[in-house]
Structure 1
């Protein structure tokens, strides 16, 4: 639980450090993109801190491309 609070504090510091600079430059799209990526990274880090099982992106890629690989291998035989 303490690690989760630490992650949230660090995330808040990062957000308060960069978002005002982007607002001055009127970088709305950059603020939105930055916020989405920061939120995603925070969620993943909290999941890791709580020892949740987070699947690897490689598992999803393997799931998608295995049938395609099998099809290509069967066509070349």
Structure 2
């Protein structure tokens, strides 16, 4: 619980520091990307802080390429 509160507190501090500058400069696209990345990163950090199992994207990529490499290797041997 304290980990989540700490992560949210840091995220709020980042928002307080960065968002006024982006609004003042009228950087709407950058603000959208900033918001999405901050929400994604905050969510992943909270999940990791709560010891939840976070899937690794490399596992799926390796699964696809392993089948492909096995298929190609079968022709070469």
TM-score, length-normalised on structure 1? 0.90
Question: Which residue is 1:20 aligned to?
Answer: 20
Q: What is the root-mean-square deviation in Å for CA atoms of aligned residues? A: 1.1
Following superposition, the deviation at residue 8 of structure 1 comes to 0.3
Alignment partner of 1:59 is 2:59: yes
Out of 40-49 and 66-75, give the one that drifted further.
66-75
Give the Cα–Cα distance (whole angstroms) in 2 for the partners of residues 63 and 21 of structure 1.
Answer: 43
Q: Gaps (5+ residues) in structure 1?
A: none
Detail structure 1 runs of 4+ shifted over 4 Å in the superposition.
none
Question: Which residue is 1:30 aligned to?
Answer: 30
Q: Gaps (5+ residues) in structure 2?
A: none
Give the Cα–Cα distance (whole angstroms) in 1 for the partners of residues 26 and 14 of structure 2.
Answer: 18
Following superposition, the deviation at residue 61 of structure 1 comes to 1.4
